[in-house]
Structure 1
Amino acid sequence: MTATAAPPALRIGPLALDVPVVLAPMAGVTNRAFRRLCREMGAGLYVSEMITARALVEGNARTLDMVAFDPDESPRSVQVYGVDPTVVGEAVRRLVDDHGAEHVDLNVGCPAAKVTRKGGGSALPVRRALFAAIVRAAVAAAGPVPFTVKMRLGVDDAHPTYLEAARIAEGEGAAAVALHARTAEQLYSGAADWSAIARLKEAVTTIPVLGNGDVLEAHDALRMVAETGCDGVVVGRGCLGRPWLFRDLADAFAGRPVRPHPPLGDVAAVLRRHAELLVEVLGPERGVRDVRKHTGWYLAGYPVGGEARRGLSQVSSLAELDARLDALDPALTLHPGSERTVRGHTNGPRRVPVPEGWFDRVDDPTPPVGAEAAVSGG
């Protein structure tokens, strides 16, 4: 198959997306400011940072801040994490009824050791009866709002779960499933196994299957669709410091030419816009502090000296950010060969801790104790 044919518009339940692209939830990144920046670049489904179901139900202030949306933001999309069907169901009901969510996603791909050690995250689909009960409760609570599931291949190569988990999700009424084609053990190392996305597409036939992993440039998305038959792509680390990737994806899927990598002057302008939005959403102090981690991602691959990079990573105001950006050469271009520089997590592999006897109790419907930690990633 060639990588030139684009899929039709993606439908997730009643939602119709002109571009079959979803922003992956990323902790500390996909807040309201970043989602707005991405929406300014192109159409897609832009998902919030992951929230913890129990924290939402208990009225945690920080969690409530995380489910705030721009007045014109649509579809309003939230990812939730939880291990108790009753709590997840109540959280989904509140997201829909109280916060206007138009799409809710369940994270069962988190590989964090402090989560899997207690049976949460990517360890949860091992417990298939419990997983089914969670999806069933969430779908019922969501009503007409589409509920989807994002997962990994499994705990490790010896314990794959994705095919069974996706079939369970499909059977319980999920509107779509997304697969990050790495195991929890891999974390973010190695290459994503796109052949697994193809196998999942063959196994799940009544709802969309989305692929996630190693979409760093627009042509990667076209190639993933061509090679796997998936209905759309989920983009995570590829858009860090490159929110214009969503513009490129819209162009590629529409058959339009994809623009070349921008010169540093254009990159600086987007970084400045990102900082402005962060200050608007988080306030001057938190907003400027938050933008510091993004500066290295924006500059990745550009021949900017270490002193300039350090200065930008330590800015204390928008005025200082402006001064440091103005000092950069706007004509600088991306260093040849750095187009596929990976931003964000690169750690792994690492053994995945799970509760003792976890793999021997696959049909135990009892929620694990203490697994609902407020961490994200998948």
Structure 2
Amino acid sequence: MKIGAIDVWPPVVLAPMAGVTNAAFRTLCREQGGGLYVSEMITTRGLVERNPKTLAMIRFPEGESPRSVQLYGVDPAVVGRAVRIIAEEGLADHVDLNFGCPVPKVTRRGGGSALPYKRGLLRRVLRAAVANAGTLPVTMKMRKGIDGDHLTYLDAGRIAAQEGLSAIALHGRTAVQHYGGTADWEAIARLKDAVPEIPVLGNGDIWTADDALRMIRRTGCDGVVVGRGCLGRPWLFRDLDDAFEGRPTRARPTLGEVAATMARHAALLVECFGSEPHGVLDFRKHVGWYLKGFEAGADLRRDLATAGSLEELRGHLARLPATRPWPGAAADGPRGKTNARDRVHLPDGWLDDQGDVEVSAEAELDVSGG
């Protein structure tokens, strides 16, 4: 699969996830297999204003290539300036635009998965990004729409192709579904039929490498985007490498091997943040994902999730029974958030006029990371 001039093999993209896909986690995943590994969400306003946190998040470890950054923005002018900064300063090799985020603090400003409802505004944002990207490929990730009555993905896909985007990724859920229910793979197939001229990537409910192969067979999409399926399982990218090369082998780490990966992940986070307390604290949310399906005991899980230093964390990890085998299906299934929402938080009157292209002064977020 090609995204602009970038060869992506296997045709796998790590989905940008706030608080997860930092340099530490991307390093772990890239060591396992090939593909395209996208940063956490960077706000265009934060980049344009040179926000220190944003600038720190857009740094890539030495040797990471291609460097892929996801931008969130609502104002076409701000998006254009942010993309130009990335292109002119050589900050990344690929720009992805976020039109899939369903969280209220984003959608209530008209951003993320709310924005494609405004077709004219979407076109202006995409045109500004492409015009300022130089030779960098620009892609977008989106959802089916706001809800079942306000689907936008087919129109958005056609607009993206017309405006010169290099690829589109579709999460087969609406914003109101959040991460609940089952992803609609048939919508991915319909999008591929609607825009055959550029690569379409499918996202949603890829928990194993074999799920990725099934999605491609069923939908005809060109590649897959993996999000929650790799939480606590960076070796999923080794499985994906094997699957797309036709190899039947799949990673089945023992609990001891999982513990070693956990220790390395925590150490990389400490290096990433330049602070042991910060890195160990950030690692805590990963403990449950790594141990999913394993019998580890409530007390030990609690100790791991409250460790305050690398030494303390390693001591607790040493208590895990190292020879315990991979638990199979119990560890392969859904992980992370699975709930739906009652409604999508939108700006007042957002659904009244889909042709409106006005941008509120409060639309842009100044803090990156989602």
TM-score, normalised on structure 1? 0.95
- In structure 2, distance between residues paired with 1:224 and 1:258: 19
- Provide the residue aligned with 1:306 in structure 2: 298
**1:218-248 Cα distance to aligned partner (Å, 9 max, x none):** 1000000000000000000000000000000
1:134 matched to 2:125? The reply is yes
Distance across 2 between alignment mates of 1:36 and 1:364: 42
- In structure 1, how many angstroms separate the alpha carbons of the residues matched to 2:159 and 2:245? 33
Correspondence 1:276-315 to 2 at 5 A: 276-283=267-274, 284-315=276-307
Which one of 303, 317, 320 corresponds to residue 328 of structure 1? 320
Secondary structure in 1 matching 2:206: coil
Report what 1:182 is aligned to. 173
The alpha carbon displacement at 1:96 in A equals: 2.0
Please list every run of at least 4 consecutive aligned residues from structure 1 whose deviation after the TM superposition is greater than 6 angstroms. Answer: none
Query: What's the offset of the Cα at 1:375?
Result: 6.6
Look up the equivalent residue of 1:332 and give its one-letter code. Answer: R
Match of 2:72 in 1: 81
Among 196, 204, 209, the alignment partner of 1:205 is 196
Aligned residue for 1:7?
none
Relative distance call for 1:337 and 1:35 in structure 2 (3 A) is: closer
Partners of 2:62 and 2:88 in 1: how far apart? 16
**Higher alpha-carbon deviation: 133-142 or 90-99:** 90-99
Match of 1:349 among 341, 350, 353: 341
2: CA distance, partners of 1:309 / 1:23? 27
- Given that 2:255 and 2:323 are in contact with CA atoms closer than 8 Å, whether structure 1 keeps it comes out as yes
Whole-angstrom distance in 2 between the partners of 1:88 and 1:53: 6
Question: What is the CA–CA distance in structure 1 between the aligned matches of 2:329 and 2:31, rounded to whole Å?
Answer: 28
| Cα separation, 2, equivalents of 1:260 and 1:174 | 35
RMSD, matched Cα: 1.3
The offset of 1:260, in angstroms, is 4.4
Matched with 1:31 is: 22
Q: Contact 2:44 / 2:71 at 8 angstroms: preserved in 1?
A: yes
**Match for residue 372 of structure 1?**
364
Rounded Cα–Cα distance in structure 2 between residues aligned with 1:376 and 1:151:
17
Q: Distance in 1 between matches of 2:193 and 2:345?
A: 31
TM-score between the two structures when normalised by the length of structure 2: 0.97
Equivalence for 2:186: 195
**Structure 1 residue 337, shift from structure 2 partner:** 4.0
Partner of 1:54: 45
Superposed displacement of residue 118, structure 1: 2.4
**Distance across 1 between alignment mates of 2:272 and 2:345:** 37
Q: Name whichever of 334-343 and 227-236 sits farther off.
A: 334-343
Tell me the distance in 1 between the aligned counterparts of 2:285 and 2:102: 22
Residues 239 and 251 in structure 2, CA contact (< 8 A), matched pair in contact too: no
Offset at residue 75 of structure 1 (A):
0.5
Give the counterpart letter for 1:361 in structure 2: D
**Equivalent residue for 2:232, pick from 238, 241, 244:** 241
Deviation, 1:282, is 0.9
Moved more, 276-285 or 199-208: 276-285
Displacement of 1:335: 3.5
Task: Assess, with a 3 A threshold, how the Cα gap between structure 1 residues 50 and 154 changes in structure 2: closer, same or farther.
Answer: same
**CA contact 2:292–2:331 (8 Å) conserved in 1:** no
Gaps of 5+ in 1: 1-9
Cα shift readout 1:90-133 (whole Å, capped 9, x = no counterpart): 10111122243100000011111222222111110111111100
Q: In structure 2, give the amino acid aligned to 1:296.
A: G
**Cα distance in 2 between the residues matched to 1:257 and 1:360:** 52
Task: Name the residue aligned to 1:15.
Answer: 6
Deviations 1:330-365 (CA, angstroms, capped at 9, x unpaired) = 111244541333222122132112223322322222
Amino acid at match of 1:326: A
Residue in 2 aligned with 1:254? Answer: 245
Quick check: 98-107 or 217-226, which moved more? 98-107
Q: Do the aligned partners of residues 113 and 234 (structure 1) sit closer, same or farther apart at CA in structure 2, a change above 3 Å counting?
A: same
Q: How does 1:213-232 map to 2 (within 5 A)?
A: 213-232=204-223
Check whether the contact 1:67–1:99 (CA below 8 A) recurs between aligned residues: no
Does structure 1 conserve the Cα–Cα contact (< 8 Å) formed by 2:17 and 2:40?
yes
Counterpart residue number, 1:144: 135
In 1, Cα distance between equivalents of 2:347 and 2:317: 49
CA contact 2:294–2:331 (8 Å) conserved in 1: no
Kept in 2: contact 1:103–1:147 (CA 8 A): yes
Q: Does 1:157 align with 2:148?
A: yes
**Cα distance between partner residues in 2 of 1:326 and 1:303:** 15
Q: Could you tell me how far apart the structure 1 residues matched to 2:261 and 2:235 are?
A: 9
1:167 aligns with 2:158: yes
Q: Distance in 2 between matches of 1:56 and 1:337?
A: 42
